[in-house]
Amino acid sequence: MTTTPPRANQLWHPSRGISFSPGSAPRAPPAQSLHTMTEVSTGVNQYHVAASETIVVPSRETLATAVAQQTSPSLGLGTLAHHVDNRVSVQSTVETSVVVKEPERKATDNPPPPVFEYKMIDDLFYTAKRSPQGSPESFWSYSQYRYAAEDGSLHRVKVHYCRSRHTMERVCKQYFMDEKVLGFDLEWMADSMKKDGLKKNVSLIQLASPSRIGLFHVALFTDSDDMVGPSFRHIMEDSNVIKVGVAIKGDTTRLRNYLDIQSRGLMELSNLYKLVTYSRTGEYHNINRRLVPMATQVEQYLHLPLFKGQDVRSSDWSRPLDAKQVLYSASDAYAGLHLYATLDYHRKQLDPCPPLPHHAELNLAIPLAEGVRVASTDNTVEPDDVAAPDALDIDDKETASSIAILKETKTSLVSKQKPASIKPTPKTPERPKDSRVEVAEDRVASYRASHPQTRSNVAQLRSYFLWHCYDLSPAAIAQLVRDPPLKTVTVVAYILAVVQAEKLPVDHDRLREVTGLIPQSTLWARWPVVARMVTPSSN
C-alpha cells in the first residue's frame, strides 16, 4: 500500500490537527513607494494610488518581507507522531519503547483567541514564531488577519490611504460610521512644536475596524475651514462609539487643540490591560492609570512582538507615505482594536468579573470587581515622578529620600494585608490635568517605548517636552506639573539631564536662557555636554 506524502504546506497543531495554508504566495516584486501613480500587481492583490483616491491592502508581499512568502515546512510522519497526545512513542529496532514528553507549551505559543470575523491565520502566526527574532517576518501585523467567507475564500484587511479631505470624508461615511468600536492613533513630526501648526502636530490620523483601516494623511490635505470633514468629527465626538488606543488622551488633546474636536467615548488600553492582568493575579494594588506601551500589551496578549522601530516612528510624516510607514501606522491602529477585544474577552473570564474602565475623558479611577477593596494608588507618587538624586538640589534630595521611605512603608503595609480587608482611603479630588501636560506625557510614553535603554525618567522627559514643544519657562513648568509647584531649579535640572543624555532637538538660544539660571561651575561639573553646547567656540 502506497502512502501519500504530506503536503508541503501542511501544519500540525495539537488542538486542531492538521491545518492547511491557503497556498503560498508568489514571490513579490521589490518594495515600492506607495505614492507612485501606478497600479501594482503582487500576484495576490492589486491597488491603485492617486491624490484623491485610496490604497487598498498593502501587504507584506509589497514589502518583500511577506510572511505569506514562506510556506510551512513539510512535517514528516515522525514529527507528526511527536505531537499526538503531547508525547511520542518510538519503536526501536530491538522492539524497545521509549516515551518522551513534549516541552510544555505556553499560552503565547499559540495564536490569540479569535475575537472578530477577521482572525489571525495559524500558518502566518507560526511562521512569525519561527522567524529569527527581530526580523521583519517575526513581528505582529494587520496583514496576518483574514476573513473566511462561506465559499471558502479568504479576504484580507483593506487599507484606505487617503490624501485629501474629500476622500477621507467618503471613506469615513461609507466604512466607519456604523462601527461601535474603532482603533485610533495619530502620527506627527518628531521635532514638532506648538508654533509649527496643524500639519506637523497632527500629520496622520488612523482609524481601524475589523475589516478596514483608514490612514488619513492630514499633512497632505489642502487647507480648508474644516480640514477633516463632518463624518470623522461625528465619529470622534460620539460617546457611543468607543475609540481605543494607548495614550489616547494625549492624541485627542491634539485634535482638540488643532482641529477643535471634543473627543468622547475614549478607552485607554493601559487601564484595561492593568485591570485584566492584575485582577487575574490578585495584585489589585498594581491597578493604576500609568501608561503601558502598546508593544508590551501586544506581545503579552496577541503573542507576537510589535514593530516599534525608531527609524520609522521618527520618519518624515509630512511626505507621501512609503510602504514601511503604511505597515507601521496601519498595524498600530489595528493592534489597538484587537487588543481591546482580546482584553475584554479575558476580562469576561474573570470571577468575579470587573466592569470595563470608565471612558478616559472622565478622568475616573479604574473600577474593580464587586467586593474587591484595595487602598487607592491613583495619587501615590511613583518612582518616575522623582528625579534621580544627581538631578536634584539638596532640599529635593531630602524630599526624595522621605518619599522613598514613605513608599517603602506603604508598600510593606499593603503587602501584609489581604486585598479584600483593606478599607479604601479617602481620595481628594484631582486637579484637572492641563492639556499640555497630557500631550507631553503622551510623547514621553512614545519616546520611552521606542528607546527602552533611555537613562531619562518620566519627570525629566515630561519637563523637556513641555519646555521644547510649548516654549514654557522652567518656572511655568514647575507650576504646571505639580500642586504645590516644583522648585524651578529642579525643572532646570530635569531639562539639562535630558539634553545631556538624549539626542533630542534643542533650541540653543533657549538652552542658554535655561543654563543662565544656575552657576556656571555647577553647569560644567554636572552637565559638561550642555556646557559645551552653549559656550561659544574659541578660534
pLDDT in tens, 93-139: 344 445 555 566 787 899 999 999 999 999 999 999 999 998 999 99
Q: Which residue has the higher pLDDT, 226 or 233?
A: 233
For residue 183, the model assigns a pLDDT of 98
What number is the average pLDDT over the span 244-264?
Answer: 93
| CA–CA distance, 334 with 113 (Å, rounded to integer) | 16
For residue 5, the model assigns a pLDDT of 52
Confidence of residue 191 (pLDDT cuts 50, 70, 90): confident
pLDDT in tens, 45-67: 334 343 444 455 444 444 434 33
For residue 220, the model assigns a pLDDT of 96
| CA–CA distance, 204 with 523 (Å, rounded to integer) | 40
Do residues 426 and 235 touch, judged by C-beta distance below 8 A?
no
CATH class entry, domain 158-267:
alpha beta
For residue 508, the model assigns a pLDDT of 87
For residue 436, the model assigns a pLDDT of 81
- The arrangement of strands across the sheet holding 181-187 comes to 158-162, 212-216, 204-208, 181-187, 242-245, 266-268
* pLDDT above 80 (res 23): no
Domains 158-267 and 269-362 share a fold: yes
Average pLDDT over the chain, rounded to an integer: 77
pLDDT in tens, 314-334: 788 999 999 999 999 999 999
* pLDDT above 90 (res 19): no
| CA–CA distance, 494 with 499 (Å, rounded to integer) | 9
For residue 46, the model assigns a pLDDT of 34
What number is the average pLDDT over the span 3-22?
Answer: 50
User: Distance of alpha carbon 323 from its chain centroid, rounded?
Assistant: 19
* pLDDT above 50 (res 32): no
| CA–CA distance, 364 with 40 (Å, rounded to integer) | 49
Q: Which residue has the higher pLDDT, 194 or 229?
A: 229
Confidence of residue 21 (pLDDT cuts 50, 70, 90): very low
| CA–CA distance, 209 with 231 (Å, rounded to integer) | 15
What number is the average pLDDT over the span 135-153?
Answer: 94
For residue 376, the model assigns a pLDDT of 56
For residue 99, the model assigns a pLDDT of 54
* pLDDT above 80 (res 389): no
**Any bridge partners for residue 148, and if so which?**
154
For residue 382, the model assigns a pLDDT of 39
Q: Is the pTM of this model over 0.95?
A: no
Burial class of residue 374, CB neighbours in 10 A (0-12, 13-18, 19+): buried
For residue 100, the model assigns a pLDDT of 55
For the chain, domain boundaries: 158-267, 269-362, 382-426+433-539
Percent of the chain whose pLDDT exceeds 70: 69
Confidence of residue 194 (pLDDT cuts 50, 70, 90): confident
What number is the average pLDDT over the span 207-228?
Answer: 95
User: Distance of alpha carbon 78 from its chain centroid, rounded?
Assistant: 41
Among the ranges given (24-33, 357-366, 447-456), the one the predictor scored with the smallest mean pLDDT: 24-33
For residue 482, the model assigns a pLDDT of 86
User: What's the CATH number for 269-362?
Assistant: 3.30.420.10
For residue 98, the model assigns a pLDDT of 52
Prior bond to 22 cis, omega within 30?
no
| CA–CA distance, 492 with 511 (Å, rounded to integer) | 10
* pLDDT above 80 (res 528): yes
Prior bond to 352 cis, omega within 30?
yes
User: Distance of alpha carbon 318 from its chain centroid, rounded?
Assistant: 21
* Three-state DSSP state, 330: helix
**Any bridge partners for residue 212, and if so which?**
158
* pLDDT above 80 (res 91): no
For residue 446, give the nearest of 287, 310, 274 by alpha carbon: 310
pLDDT in tens, 157-173: 999 999 999 999 999 99
What number is the average pLDDT over the span 77-88?
Answer: 36
* pLDDT above 60 (res 153): yes
For residue 451, the model assigns a pLDDT of 81
* pLDDT above 70 (res 423): no
Q: Which residue has the higher pLDDT, 273 or 33?
A: 273
* pLDDT above 80 (res 408): no
What number is the average pLDDT over the span 517-532?
Answer: 91
